[in-house]
Structure 1
Amino acid sequence: MSPAFPLHGSPVRHCQLYVREIVPYRIAHSWQRSLVAERRQNPNLEDVLILLEHPPIYTLGQGARSDFLKFDPAQSELEVIRIERGGEVTYHCPGQLVGYPILNLNYHQKDLHWYLRQLEEVLIQVLAAYGLKGERLAGLTGVWVDGRKVGAIGIKVSRWITMHGFSLNVCPDMEGFESIIPCGIADKPIGSLEQFIPGIELARVRQQVILAFAEVFGLQIVAEKVD
């Protein structure tokens, strides 16, 4: 899939990059909502990409089935929350790189299928940089390596402004995935890059994600905020 560039020959859009370490999910969620609200009010604001990790937590998409949890949420030591993204249940934890693009698709393409495929392409390009072949599976969203799902995608788009995004299992503790049916797919295992490349470093993968994201979406990364 070729990179996407702004329509009508307009200048390359800028994308503000925010890199954080471990951020509680609810704080990151509130931050996203604030950025989206600002862009609804002022559509001329630049795009944003947030890259971070979360403490252990389970999240369910807007219409996700609770029976994909293998435990009683009321008895869980970890928080379980339902949010407005698409998709089923997923697990976040340190070692998993999470990306939240806040893009105004009016400046890209107003096509949700296109947007999902572009997010997959970002992850596929990252995997290729490590010599791994990332694959799509017909009828499913995400990216697989050797039959193991390493990249998950769940989005919310309102007035063509995006939130939520993707996660890439770099070197997480995989135990948390055993308590759910991830993404509602019972017959395909979850994997991590560390299983294929022992010792892989999340910081280096993050840099590959930044490069691939800029190329695929035709964006210029203008700054990096590191706490």
Structure 2
Amino acid sequence: MNRATGNIFTVTVKNMGITEYLTAWQAMKNFTAQRTCETPDEIWLLEHLPVYTQGIAGKPEHLLFPNQIPVIKTDRGGQITYHGPGQIILYLLLDLHHWQLNIRQLVRKMEGAVIDLLNEYDVIARGDENAPGVYVHGAKIASLGLKIRRGACYHGIAFNADMDLTPFTAINPCGYRGLRVTQAKDLGITDSKEILATKLAQNFIDQLTDA
């Protein structure tokens, strides 16, 4: 567990290992429902067992063919995506009033954290205002999703580090037909997912605390 402070507010980083999606989702909802204006913000680092998640406006036709991987309709924005071992998840449980952020600003900071991480390895990446996420040569390496409730957010960043990308072929990733996906390993990044997760969390905190 690590803590970082920006202004007068504290962010606690928790490493939660491999966690079932439904377990993590329920925990995020509980945390957000119970928090007060004094509740410290948290970042949860974890991985999921194989699962497709469908956003609140998700269209079923973006699952091209069913397989043994479960599909869960969740409460974040966006369309369908895949989570599995080797993908780094940062769940961001933040009170946006603490940081004086609107959703657009938060999304830019989420993208910036990933872009800065890849830049450390001389990989040029970019965000896309029309299709939130982070891309390398047109292939998506990180997906973003958020739910805002009473001025607080949950869900967050899914960064492909070292995983089996095959399940993405059964979907239109994030609702985009033919969208390619990539991962850190395939870009020549050899640091472990643990190192990458720690760096990504710190990069996001740096983004968050940068006035």
CA deviations over 1:98-150 (Å, ceiling 9, x no partner): 11010000111241111111111111111111211111234110000111100
The aligned counterpart of 2:86 is 95
Matched, 1:70 2:61: no
Aligned mate of 2:142, from 151, 154, 160? 151
Aligned mate of 1:188, from 171, 179, 192? 179
Is the Cα–Cα contact under 8 Å of residues 85 and 154 in structure 1 kept in the other structure? yes
User: What SS is found at the alignment partner of 1:189?
Assistant: coil
RMSD over equivalenced CA pairs, Å: 1.6
Aligned residues: percent identity? 26
Is the Cα–Cα contact under 8 Å of residues 16 and 45 in structure 2 kept in the other structure? yes
Matched, 1:44 2:35: no
Q: How many residues align?
A: 206
- Off by >3 Å, runs of 4+ in structure 1: none
Matched, 1:83 2:79: no
Letter in 1 for 2:96: L
Is the Cα–Cα contact under 8 Å of residues 59 and 79 in structure 2 kept in the other structure? yes
Q: Matches of 1:111 and 1:198 in 2, distance apart?
A: 33
Is the Cα–Cα contact under 8 Å of residues 171 and 200 in structure 1 kept in the other structure? no
Letter in 2 for 1:91: Y
Aligned mate of 1:162, from 129, 153, 172? 153
Q: Output the TM-score relative to the length of structure 2.
A: 0.93
In the TM superposition, what is the alpha-carbon distance from 1:159 to its structure 2 partner? 1.2
Q: Matches of 2:116 and 2:8 in 1, distance apart?
A: 21
In the TM superposition, what is the alpha-carbon distance from 1:200 to its structure 2 partner? 3.6
The aligned counterpart of 1:112 is 103
Is the Cα–Cα contact under 8 Å of residues 21 and 52 in structure 1 kept in the other structure? yes
Q: Matches of 1:65 and 1:156 in 2, distance apart?
A: 18
Aligned mate of 1:34, from 23, 30, 39? 30
Is the Cα–Cα contact under 8 Å of residues 90 and 201 in structure 2 kept in the other structure? no
Letter in 1 for 2:126: E
Is the Cα–Cα contact under 8 Å of residues 56 and 73 in structure 2 kept in the other structure? yes
User: What SS is found at the alignment partner of 2:158?
Assistant: strand
Q: Which runs of 5+ in 2 are unaligned?
A: none
Match runs of 1:206-217 below 5 Å: 206-217=197-208
Q: Matches of 2:34 and 2:129 in 1, distance apart?
A: 36
Q: Output the TM-score relative to the length of structure 1.
A: 0.86
Q: Matches of 1:27 and 1:111 in 2, distance apart?
A: 28
Match runs of 1:47-58 below 5 Å: 47-58=41-52
Greater relative contact order (Cα < 8 A, sep 6+): 1
